[in-house]
Amino acid sequence: MARSFSQMTLTEQIFALKDPLSYLFSIVGINTGLPAGNILSFGSKHPTLAAIADDPISAAVKWIFNKPVSNSYISTWTKYLENTWGIDSSFSEKAAQLILAINQARMQFTITSGYRSPELQKVLVDRFKAGDKTVYTPLAPGKSLHNHQSWLGNPASLAIDISTSNPAAAGQLARSLGIVWGGMSDPVHFAIRGGTL
């Protein structure tokens, strides 16, 4: 006998929803701004992949460019990147599109850096010189697009660092969106095309 939604365990209820990730975040008060449904279809009990192209990267790019993406999702992520990570308004919309495309391609991701003060940039350079393998070839303070400031002196990074479960695929997505990728020597680095300090 099938149980009603209210009789299911919390886990069963989450997987019965069309967009369990946003539901989980909403429980703890985080609005992801991701569109419901994404590229995954969830059955009554367990998630199942449905209608995924053989190439999930191409599917994600097509989703960003062809599927009507609500402006509220892009706007939510754009403001989040500007206000939380200090990303310049000239780059935040592209960065938001990249994050949504990474999500659509089913990659796990973590934003690790946006704006960095020259002091923080120096700390990264020193860590790299000391042999810290978690730091990818940082530029000198004042030379990185992460150090960019507005004419008022406010954080306005022209780059964002995003660690993903598939760096090469994320790089492919970035290039398709007109974003410069740092390559495998700096796989977390994504920047505005033609950005200068």
Partners of residue 155 on adjacent β-strands: 149
Q: Which residue has the higher pLDDT, 70 or 106?
A: 106
Place of tokens 């000239």: 90
Asked whether residue 67 falls in the same domain as residue 44, the answer is no
Nearest-CA neighbor of 163 among 122, 119, 102?
102
DSSP for 47-106?
EE--S--S-HHHHHHHHHHHS---HHHHHHHHHHHHHHH-B-HHHHHHHHHHHHHHHHTT
Is 197 part of any domain?
no
Shared domain for 72 and 158, answered yes or no, is yes
**Of 28, 51, 74, which residue is a domain's last?**
51
Residues 38 and 83 in one domain: no
pLDDT tens per residue, range 149-175: 999 999 999 999 999 999 999 999 999
Q: What 3-state DSSP class applies to 191?
A: strand
In a domain, 170, yes or no: yes
| Same domain, yes or no: 72 and 35 | no
Domain with 142 in it: 60-192
Residues 131 and 47 in one domain: no
The total number of structural domains that make up the chain: 2
Does one domain contain both 43 and 76? no
What digits encode the pLDDT tens for the residues 119-155?
Answer: 999 999 999 999 998 888 889 999 999 999 999 999 9
